[in-house]
Amino acid sequence: MNKQVRGIIDALNIKYPDAICALHYNKDYELMIAVRLSAQCTDARVNLVTPALFAAYPTLEAMAGADIADVEGYIHSCGFYRQKAKDIVFACQMLLSEYGGKVPGTMEELLRLPGVGRKTANLLLGDLYNEPGSVVCDTHCMRICERLGLSKGREPEKVEKQLRAVLPPEESSDFCHRIVLFGREICTARGPKCDQCPLAIYCKHINNG
C-alpha cells in the first residue's frame, strides 16, 4: 500500500471515527430491504419510511407474506416503489425458501436475490459478515475516488476492481462508509468545500484544476 492510500485512509479515520451504515436496521433482512429502498433515494428518506414498514411487517415471515400493493403504500415516497415492493417481498420469500431465513453470506448467493446487485451485496457482506474486501461503489465513492486518483471511470464494477487492488481488505468496508459521510459533508457533487477538506493534498481536482 502506497503512502497516498494510507494517508487518505488515516485522514478519513480521524474525521469519521465511527464508520457506520447510515441506514437504520435491527435485523439482517431489514438492512437488505433498506438498501433496496435507497436506490435513487436518500438514506434520510429511507430512514423515515422503514419504521412504519417494519412495524407493519415485524417478522421475515410477515414481510414475505405481505400484499405487494400494501407494501407499495408504505414505500411510495422512496421512488420506483412498484419494482421495489416486488423485489422486497420476493427476496424475503427467497430467504425463507432457500436460505433458511437468513441473508446469505456469499456474493453468488446474494446476487440471486431479487433487487440485489453488487453494490448491495458488498454492503451486506461488509456490514453483516465483516467480509474483507467489500467495496461499495455508490456515486459518492466513484466521484471522490476518481478525484483522489484511486480509481478511474464511473462504471461500478470496474471501480470496485480498482479499489480492491489498492485498499487494505480489512478496511475497505469502513472506508466506503466514511467516503459516503465525506461526500455528504465536504466533497459534495456540486459545491465541494475544498477549503475544509482533510484530503486536499491528495486531490487531483484541487491540485490539477
Q: Residue 19's pLDDT is what?
A: 87
Residue 189, φ and ψ in degrees, nearest 5: -65, -40
Residues with Cβ within 8 Å of residue 74, at least 6 apart in sequence: 49, 52, 53, 56
Do residue 82 and residue 172 come from a single domain? no
Do residue 102 and residue 152 come from a single domain? no
Q: In terms of residue numbers, what domain contains 38?
A: 28-129
Residue 152 annotated in active site: no
Which position among 15, 27, 86, 138 bears the catalytic label?
Answer: 138
Q: Residue 204's pLDDT is what?
A: 78
Which position among 28, 84, 87, 119 bears the catalytic label?
Answer: 119
Q: Chain centroid to CA 122: how far?
A: 8
Do residue 41 and residue 98 come from a single domain? yes
Q: Residue 20's pLDDT is what?
A: 86
Q: Residue 131's pLDDT is what?
A: 96
Residue 119 annotated in active site: yes
pLDDT of 208 over the 70 cut: no
Looking at residues 130-141, what average pLDDT do you find? 94
Q: Residue 53's pLDDT is what?
A: 98
Looking at residues 94-121, what average pLDDT do you find? 97
